[in-house]
């Protein structure tokens, strides 16, 4: 058949599929559009079958393209693992890890964990991207990312998983607020119904996660205002504009202890675990395994 390819072809093809267009895939591969198009056409010509269906909104996979993508990802993963394992014999761990995580992990836990790892492994690069939990699971299962951090309640299918951190949702109120009267430290989520709530933007992955959890209880909060960040929530709360739900780690980090009160929620489903997920720990390159071990043992 004369079907020939190299790893650059396979990486380009995977990037095009993931990005949804040849233009975006070429940019990810650091190739010109003309060079990327020529390589894709070369793959199709050698195979004797179309791999992509081109349209105004980008590209979609043909059956042949789906088969090639499956094998391309497996071969790229194996090549990356080989590079990482062999590099460990000479100049230490070397490679790149794509870590997909939810908002809580990216904003509250990873900044404290990753600095020490990067300092200890200067030849390892990380791509950290924030995604919704279901998207993360699908991406890791498909080989788009090596590692994911998701809510432990999410079905991760056949992925291997290990505990990462605790993720407790709390209610933050101004000092002197009725819900904190008498030194109260725990309240029900239902107590928020009688008060104005400061939410994050509806498009926020964190806000969508909370709203989904509340919806499962048949509950919906009255949001008086939506703001772009947890820091903005804390500032408005301190000014008496309302109350807000947020991860405890964020509340402790950003909250002004003299002006805010942090109340735990009585409902057990709001005290959850974040988990690290991967296809198989023993199949990861050495540098990715080192990252997993570091994240498991890092600061809480």
pLDDT over 70 percentage in the chain: 94
Contact (Cβ atoms closer than 8 angstroms) between residue 78 and residue 126: no
Give me the sign of the Cα torsion angle 86, 87, 89, 92: negative
Length of the chain: 300
Examine domains 86-165+273-297 and 167-271 and report if their fold is the same.
yes
Strands (E) located in the chain: 52-55, 58-61, 95-101, 124-130, 147-151, 160-174, 186-187, 197-200, 223-227, 244-247, 260-265, 271-278
Rounded to whole angstroms, the Cα distance separating 198 from 181 reads 20
The answer to whether residue 162 scores a pLDDT higher than 80 is yes
Backbone dihedral angles phi then psi of residue 295, each to the nearest 5 degrees: -65, -35
The answer to whether residue 2 scores a pLDDT higher than 70 is no
CATH 3.40.190.10 given to domain 86-165+273-297 = yes
pLDDT in tens, 115-141: 999 998 888 889 999 888 889 999 898
The answer to whether residue 85 scores a pLDDT higher than 70 is no
Q: How many CB atoms lie within 10 A of CB 131?
A: 20
Give the side-chain half-sphere CA count within 13 A for 157.
15
Rounded to whole angstroms, the Cα distance separating 18 from 10 reads 12
Question: To which residue do tokens 């209880």 refer?
Answer: 217
* Tokens matching residue 117: 């790892």
Q: Where are the domains of the chain?
A: 7-77, 86-165+273-297, 167-271
Rounded to whole angstroms, the Cα distance separating 151 from 187 reads 23
The answer to whether residue 29 scores a pLDDT higher than 80 is yes
Lowest mean pLDDT among 50-64, 71-85, 169-183, 230-244: 71-85
- 228-255: b or e for each residue (b if 16 or more CB lie within 10 Å)? eebebbbbbbbeebbbbbbbbbbbeebb
Query: What class does CATH assign to 167-271?
Result: alpha beta
Give the side-chain half-sphere CA count within 13 A for 52.
26
Rounded to whole angstroms, the Cα distance separating 72 from 47 reads 14
| Per-residue pLDDT, 87 | 62
At 187, the pLDDT band (50, 70, 90 cuts) reads very high
Lowest mean pLDDT among 10-14, 238-242, 287-291, 296-300: 296-300
Backbone dihedral angles phi then psi of residue 220, each to the nearest 5 degrees: -145, 125
Long-range own/partner contacts, residues 37-40 (CB < 8 A, 24 or more apart): 39/8, 39/9, 39/12, 40/12, 40/13, 40/16
**In the CATH hierarchy, which fold is given to the domain comprising 7-77?**
Arc Repressor Mutant, subunit A (1.10.10)
| Per-residue pLDDT, 47 | 87
């Amino acid at each position: 058949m004369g079907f020939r390819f190299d790893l650059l072809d396979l990486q380009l093809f995977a990037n095009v599929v993931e990005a949804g267009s040849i233009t975006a895939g070429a940019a990810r591969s650091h190739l010109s559009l003309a060079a990327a198009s020529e390589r894709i056409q070369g793959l199709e010509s050698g195979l004797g079958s179309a791999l992509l269906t081109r349209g105004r909104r980008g590209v979609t996979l043909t059956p042949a393209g789906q088969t090639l993508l499956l094998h391309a990802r497996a071969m790229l993963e194996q090549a990356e693992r080989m590079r990482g394992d062999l590099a460990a014999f000479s100049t230490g761990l070397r490679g790149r890890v794509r870590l997909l995580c939810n908002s809580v992990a990216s904003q509250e836990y990873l900044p404290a964990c990753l600095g020490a790892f990067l300092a200890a492994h200067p030849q390892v690069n990380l791509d950290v991207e924030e995604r919704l939990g279901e998207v993360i699971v699908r991406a890791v299962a498909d080989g788009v990312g090596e590692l994911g951090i998701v809510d432990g309640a999410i079905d991760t299918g056949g992925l291997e998983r290990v505990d990462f951190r605790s993720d407790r949702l709390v209610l933050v109120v101004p000092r002197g607020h009725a819900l904190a009267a008498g030194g109260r430290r725990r309240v029900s989520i239902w107590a928020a119904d009688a008060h104005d709530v400061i939410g994050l933007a509806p498009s926020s992955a964190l806000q969508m996660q909370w709203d989904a959890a509340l919806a499962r209880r048949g509950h919906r909060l009255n949001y008086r205002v939506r703001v772009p960040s947890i820091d903005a929530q804390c500032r408005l709360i301190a000014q008496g504009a309302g109350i807000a739900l947020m991860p405890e780690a964020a509340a402790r980090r950003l909250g002004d202890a003299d002006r805010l009160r942090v109340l735990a929620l009585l409902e057990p489903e709001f005290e959850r675990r974040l988990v690290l997920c991967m296809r198989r720990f023993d199949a990861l390159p050495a540098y990715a395994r080192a990252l997993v071990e570091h994240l498991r043992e890092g600061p809480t």
